[in-house]
Amino acid sequence: MKNIAIIPAKEHSSRIPKKNFKNFFGKPMIYWSINNAIKSKLFDKVIVLTDSKRIEKIAKKYNAEVPFLRPKRLNRESVGIQDLIRFYIKNSIQKKKPNYICCIFPTAPLIFPSDIIKGYKKIKNKKYQFVFSASNFSHTPLRSFTINEKKEKIDKMLFSKKNFFKGSKMFKKIYHDIGQFYWASPSAWIKKQEIYNNNSAIVKIPHWRAQDIDYKDDWIKVEKIFKTLNKK
């Protein structure tokens, strides 16, 4: 077995209800992650780990596999992707393990198959423990502050005030994980090694395509970007 894609998808989401299978341009949201994984032509299997019979039905319709419904205890907020993938490896891979496992998030319609392929090319060189998608902040976070929401006034500076007097060119680019995909070997997943370390590499994604979907405004923004990308 060469590679496996794993897409974790719960039925319930707290901020955008049912977002993993909410309609997005005529398809359930999770379809786009499944489809892009398949289009990359890198995976022997595309697995959806879900607690939902509804998502199971959708996943199978679009040629993904659902080996089991994941236990409710794995739905807690404290359970991370490494816990889920470790559970899958220990309970579903009995004999020969795949070379690599790529975790792809279910709400990543702006991911390209080419992004996944770039990640694979880096991880297969065996120089890195993890390879994941990341992007630079469009504005430096070193000028960040919190606000009093009721009064809409600055509450607390998070970094040195000196940063506010520096020109933007004085700051080095700072990158962040954008939660699209993570490549690693089964052994790295099982050992639950730290993803963010000097033995990890990134696939650079332009920040305009690095969009979380946590709130209604995020959804609208991603719809507009997706529509622009797919104009014919």
pLDDT tens for 136-176 read 998 888 989 999 998 899 999 888 888 888 877 788 889 99
d(CA 8, CA 20): 10
- Considering the entire predicted model, what is its pTM? 0.91
Instruction: Quote the crossing angle between the two packed helices 29-39 and 53-61, to the nearest 10°.
Output: 40
Instruction: Quickly count: other Cβ atoms within 10 Å of residue 53's Cβ.
Output: 11
Percent of the chain with pLDDT over 70: 99
**So what's the pLDDT on residue 225?**
95
Q: Which one, of 18, 134, 76, lies nearest residue 87 by Cα?
A: 76
Q: 154: which 2 tokens?
A: 């600055």
| pLDDT at position 232 | 57
Q: Indicate if the pLDDT at residue 64 is higher than 90.
A: yes
Contact, 50 vs 87, CB < 8 A? no
Q: How confident is the model at residue 222 (pLDDT cuts 50, 70, 90)?
A: very high
Most confidently modeled range among 28-32, 135-139, 189-193, 209-213:
28-32
Pairing of strands 45-50, 3-9: parallel
Q: What's the rounded Cα separation, in Å, for the pair 162 and 143?
A: 9
